[in-house]
Amino acid sequence: MTTIERIDIRVTSRRLLDERLQAAVRHLQEIAVLTGTHGILITRNGPGNFTAELSEHVPFGMTRELTY
């Protein structure tokens, strides 16, 4: 998978998770608008461990979630 921006998120509470995911998505949306070619992929890698990234495998304007 090719990405041009990635944000790793590690949290210990739901409140922090919500805040950091929202901030990451807002940041990635700003970048995505410039390219017009990537969507946002949120991946849950484990408890309290997430990755938010721009992905060419997600259509522009969409956000998808993936859990391992």
Do 18 and 33 contact (CB within 8 A), yes or no?
A: no
Indicate the pTM of the whole model: 0.88
pLDDT of residue 4: 59
Output the pLDDT for position 10. Answer: 97
Query: Given a cut of 50, is residue 65 above it in pLDDT?
Result: yes
For residues 52-56, give the mean pLDDT.
Answer: 95
Domain positions in the chain are 6-67
Q: Could you count the other beta carbons within 10 Å of the beta carbon of residue 45?
A: 14
pLDDT higher than threshold 50 for residue 1? no
